[in-house]
Amino acid sequence: MRIVLDIWRQRDARDAGGFVRYDVGDVTEHMSFLEMLDVLNQRLVERGEDPVAFDSDCREGICGMCGFLVNGEPHGPLPNATICQTHMRHFGDGDVLRLEPWRASAFPVLKDLAVDRSAFDRIIAAGGYVSVRTGGAPEANAILVPKPAADRAMEAAACIGCGACVAACPNASAALFTGAKIAHLGVLPQGQPERGARVMSMSAQARAEGFGHCTTIGECATVCPAGIKLEVIARMNRDWLKASLTRREEAQPLAIAPRTSPMRFYEEAPPTVEPAKPGASATTKS
């Protein structure tokens, strides 16, 4: 079969970039999408041209390295599948496909279809861990984990950090990713001591990286290849609200009342009321 590809080519982060059309013949339906791109790159190299840059590693839907937009859809048209797990049998002979990198300011384009997702690493480094004392391995059953908690933790831990949720979100929000990384520790007994600090620091890091705010549109969960549910965002918001009440000093500085505030004046010097003299009305002085 023959596939026509309009691929975003961009030399580096400073280059303006643009689409370039490639006609790829001799594609078989058994090829994965990335194998089809390998064929294109092999031909480009043989012609002395620059191959198309794209990320990949496991090519088994596990590592989260691959990912770009196919006709505007993160990871292409298959639900719950990465682009490395999408095969050419899902496309037709002569199809025209437009390939673009993730579009989000927090994911700057490195080259062509490859973007810098180190912002995700910094969110995890901000609190996506459980602190433990080093020493001998603890007894496996020292902390019992209820089965429902273990199941929920495993569901959230399925996030592979691909970034499709950010690419699908009109606000370029990383709420699904951040929520998943917070939830998979927050539902376990071992994750409780740092639960409040974790949600505060990881959500603050997501904001600092330039990801947008979640408005619960839900596109992220629709395209997520790992099937992460919106529930993790609700759980993150609830944890944040609770932590912001008990850890107010980390959430935001306490507002200082201006000196001219009448409330401040009365807090410092409560008004006194002199007892009324016979034949006079009550007066107030500070």
- Write out the binding residues for ligand SF4, residues 193-252 only, by CB under 6 A: 224-226, 228
What distance lies between CA 231 and its chain's CA centroid?
A: 14
Q: Give the single-character DSSP code of 115.
A: E
Of 43 and 103, CB closest to ligand SF4:
103
Distances in Å between the alpha carbon of 133 and those of 138, 197, 211?
Answer: 10, 18, 33
Report the partner that residue 8 touches, choosing among ligand SF4, ligand FES, none (CB closer than 5 to 8 A by kind).
Answer: none
Q: Which is nearer to ligand SF4, 27 or 165 (CB)?
A: 165
φ/ψ region of 166 (left if φ > 0, alpha if ψ in -120 to 50, else beta) reads alpha
Q: If binding is defined by CB under 6 A, does position 177 make contact with ligand SF4?
A: yes
Neighbours of 146 (CB within 10 A): 11
CB of residue 236 to ligand SF4, shortest distance in Å: 12
Residue 7: name its binding partner from ligand FES, ligand SF4, none (Cβ under 5 to 8 Å by kind): none
Concatenating the DSSP letter of every residue in 59-113 gives SSSSS-----EETTEET-SSTT--GGG-BGGGS-TT-EEEEE----TTS-EEETT
Contact residue for ligand SF4 among 88, 115, 165, 169 (CB under 6 A):
165
Binding site for ligand FES (CB under 6 A): 56-59, 61-66, 82, 84, 160
Question: Residue 57 touches which of ligand SF4, ligand FES, none (CB < 5 to 8 A by kind)?
Answer: ligand FES
Phi-psi region of 264 (alpha: psi -120 to 50; beta: other; left: phi over 0): alpha
Tokens of 143: 């902390």
Binding-site size, ligand SF4 (CB under 6 A): 14
Report DSSP state, residue 188.
Answer: S
Q: Which is nearer to ligand FES, 36 or 243 (CB)?
A: 36
159 binds ligand SF4 (CB under 6 A): yes
Longest dimension (CA), the chain: 109
Partner from ligand SF4, ligand FES, none binding residue 70, C-beta < 5-8 Å depending on class: none
∠ Cα 246 248 251 (to 5°):
120
The nearest distance, CB 180 to ligand FES, in angstroms, is 16
- Of these partners, ligand SF4, ligand FES, none, which one is at the site of residue 84 (CB under 5 to 8 Å by kind)? ligand FES
Q: Which residues bind to ligand SF4, rule: CB under 6 A?
A: 159-165, 176-177, 180, 224-226, 228
